[in-house]
Amino acid sequence: MKNTPSRLTKARNSTKIGTAMSLILLFFSGCIGIDATTQNNAGNEYHVCVTGADTNPGSPQRPLRTIQAAADIAQPGDTITVHAGVYRERINPPRGGLSDERRITYQAAPDAEVIIKGSEIIKGWERAENDTWKVVIPNAFFGDFNPYQTLVAGDWFTPLPGRSGRVYHTGTVYLDGHWLREAPARDAVLAPAGEEALWFGEVDAATTTLYTQFQGVDPNERMVEINVRETVFYPEKTGINYITVRGFTMEHAATNWSPPTAEQVGLIGTHWSKGWIIENNTIRYSLCTGITLGKHGDEFDNTSASSAEGYVETIKRGIAAGWSKENIGHHIVRNNHISYCEQAGIVGSMGAIFSTVADNVIHDINMRGMFGGHEMAGIKFHAPIDTLISGNHVYRCGGFGGIWLDWMTQGARVTGNLLHDNHRQDLFVEVNHGPFMVDHNIFLSDLNLLESSGGGAYAHNLFNGAIRLREETRRDTPYHKPHSTEILGLSKGIDDDQRFHNNLFFGRNGLSAYDAWEPKHLQASGNVYLGQARPSLKDRKELLDEAFEPGVILTREGDAWRLELSINPAWAQNVKREIVTTETLGKAIVPDAPYLNPDGTPYRLDTDYFGNQRDPLNPSPGPFEMINGEQRTLVIHLRDRGLQ
């Protein structure tokens, strides 16, 4: 695969090189004394500290000042350890590792708070009118990327209804770390401030003028920052493989819209590479996207007229650019806390194949409702082939809700996730042919599932809201050789090629919506239906208890969430269910492929949400095995495994 250059505008690295400090000062700043060695069996370790200098060798006693300086010299097998402080720079790794054993690792020092920002502090504000202040900044300050003249744009991006002609820029203004909203015109920002503070920018040939409402605040006495970098950690080149990024807080990126038909630049992103590990980070305040596992960029970016045919051509170009199990994907994204992004928490077109996305906390995505488009969700993937999405907590996500799997979801598994308080729905599966597995999830929003695919298997889930079906027989979309990106053909969907086994339906319609389609292929068995939820005509071994009130309550308790629900032991005792296996599920019709784990092993769902062994002769319905036959109330403590 060629190492093609990115079309990403090179962002300015504005961190000034500090002068070398004394050994005593370095000690008190926390930059030495943690690890006195600079070399081990795996490779060299380079240290970075806010009191260092980029003319130093990167030893504990003489650390570097910028992370980029360490990136420039690090080789496969090396580790870059960054000590406590704020680093205002964009990291553009020039090379990656060679394998899992010889990767390049970027890590925060133990117990150190390391913050990497795409913003700069701005002083020199002058009062304009009312509570509005202004500052005039030379354009040279921004280098060759000025986010206050860069518009949010791309395929499948749309202003919201009633906002025709409204434009948005990738920059923003932050007061004490939190972003303010862009005004539609200067008059709006000069008016008296309302409930939400506004900013507005004007750019001419020489300067950028920012007008910002600071109600009752002197901005020169507070922390006011503005975006100056498009991204925080993103390689300019493709094929930068086997990189680990762990333990950082990364924020304030002026990212643009990331459609599936263009290069997807996130606050942090893998850029058409293989084998990254992104773990234990806090990722927040990205104008559009947090983490991108996306495609490469080329001259056809954002030229697809937002059409299915255009995306098919994008896929073909991706294959020509090396889209395969050997070259792309295999990423691990785990234990991250991702929030405050206006498009998606994690997004990826074709680049998320054979990956694991596990134990992340994702919330407050697209909750400001600034603009619209078809790529908005907590997690939004195109082509998550053999991808595992496990143990994530996804809530307060606008746009299209919690998790949206769109096109070529084949061999994927969505398991053990907690989703609630999401706009539109918790899970949206669109124009896929399967096979894919959705099991042991807790769906608590008003709409749990928007189903517009074939080949899905749903087992041992808790559905506390509605299921809505959307017929999809217009678009020809690809299906693949199992466990491969090789396309076997294109086909329209078979909407009723679904399997629902051993689920709990606590609300709304259950599976009765399928009856309107007179389904031929639907499998349904061992499900429990409460309240208004109803089985489909295809159900067998179902249990209907319309008078039972489960009383599902989810509350937060510190760093844990408490789920309380009433249960009836009869659900487990009065109907004999079977363990869900690959043999039970058969084959998805379009690809003629069996249901297998992403690693190719057969399914046998014999453990519950917490890994407890299920009764092999009669497993309980829903995510949790009901071990005590007299139990009437379940109280489940769901500790977020990602950061809080």
DSSP H or E segment with residue 72 = helix 67-73
User: Could you give the count of Cα atoms lying within 13 Å of 459 in the half-sphere of its Cβ?
Assistant: 26
Mean pLDDT throughout 614-637? Answer: 84
pLDDT band at 93; cut points 50, 70, 90: very high
Q: How many CB atoms lie under 10 A from the CB of residue 196?
A: 9
Find all residues with CB under 8 Å of 453, minimum gap 6, and list them. Answer: 405, 409, 429, 430, 431, 432, 433, 434, 472, 493, 495
pLDDT band at 571; cut points 50, 70, 90: confident
Q: What 3-state DSSP class applies to 276?
A: coil
* Domain residue extents for the chain: 119-227
Phi, psi (rounded to 5 degrees) for 627: -70, -40
Phi, psi (rounded to 5 degrees) for 334: -145, 150
The span from the CA of 230 to the CA of 543, in Å, is 54
Could you give the strand order of the β-sheet that contains 427-430, starting from the edge strand earlier in sequence? 268-269, 289-292, 344-349, 377-382, 403-406, 427-430, 447-452, 466-469
Hey, which residues does 291 pair with through a beta bridge? 268, 346
Q: How many CB atoms lie under 10 A from the CB of residue 483?
A: 17
> Looking at the predicted structure, is the pLDDT value of residue 490 above 80?
yes
Which tokens sit at 264? 């997807």
pLDDT, residue 533, reads 95
Name which of 242-246, 424-428, 630-634 the model is least confident about: 630-634
pLDDT band at 584; cut points 50, 70, 90: very high
pLDDT, residue 495, reads 85
The span from the CA of 177 to the CA of 490, in Å, is 47
> CA 427, 289, 333, 235 torsion: positive or negative?
positive
pLDDT, residue 2, reads 42
The tens digit of pLDDT for each residue in 292-319 reads 999 999 999 999 888 999 999 999 999 9
User: Could you give the count of Cα atoms lying within 13 Å of 637 in the half-sphere of its Cβ?
Assistant: 5
- DSSP letter for each residue of 284-300: EEESSEEEE--PPP-TT
User: Could you give the count of Cα atoms lying within 13 Å of 176 in the half-sphere of its Cβ?
Assistant: 6
The span from the CA of 179 to the CA of 166, in Å, is 19
The tens digit of pLDDT for each residue in 248-271 reads 999 999 999 999 999 999 999 999
**Domain 119-227 CATH assignment equals 2.60.40.1180:** yes
Could you give the strand order of the β-sheet that contains 181-182, starting from the edge strand earlier in sequence? 126-129, 132-138, 207-213, 198-203, 181-182
The span from the CA of 95 to the CA of 243, in Å, is 9
Phi, psi (rounded to 5 degrees) for 286: -115, 130
Q: Percentage of the chain with pLDDT > 70?
A: 92
> Looking at the predicted structure, is the pLDDT value of residue 196 above 60?
yes
Q: How many CB atoms lie under 10 A from the CB of residue 575?
A: 18
The tens digit of pLDDT for each residue in 341-372 reads 999 999 999 999 999 999 999 999 999 989 99
Which has the higher per-residue pLDDT, 474 or 475? 475
Q: Which amino acid is located at 489 in the chain?
A: G
Q: Do the beta carbons of residue 400 and residue 374 sit within 8 Å?
A: yes
pLDDT, residue 628, reads 64
The span from the CA of 545 to the CA of 470, in Å, is 27
The tens digit of pLDDT for each residue in 20-64 reads 333 333 444 467 544 433 444 469 999 999 999 999 999 999 999
Q: Of 534, 478, 525, give the one whose Cα is nearest residue 500.
A: 525
In whole angstroms, how large is the CA radius of gyration of the chain?
A: 26
Q: Do the beta carbons of residue 575 and residue 503 sit within 8 Å?
A: no
> CA 418, 258, 267, 384 torsion: positive or negative?
positive
The span from the CA of 146 to the CA of 114, in Å, is 26
pLDDT, residue 559, reads 76
pLDDT band at 546; cut points 50, 70, 90: confident
pLDDT, residue 631, reads 63
> CA 133, 229, 357, 154 torsion: positive or negative?
positive
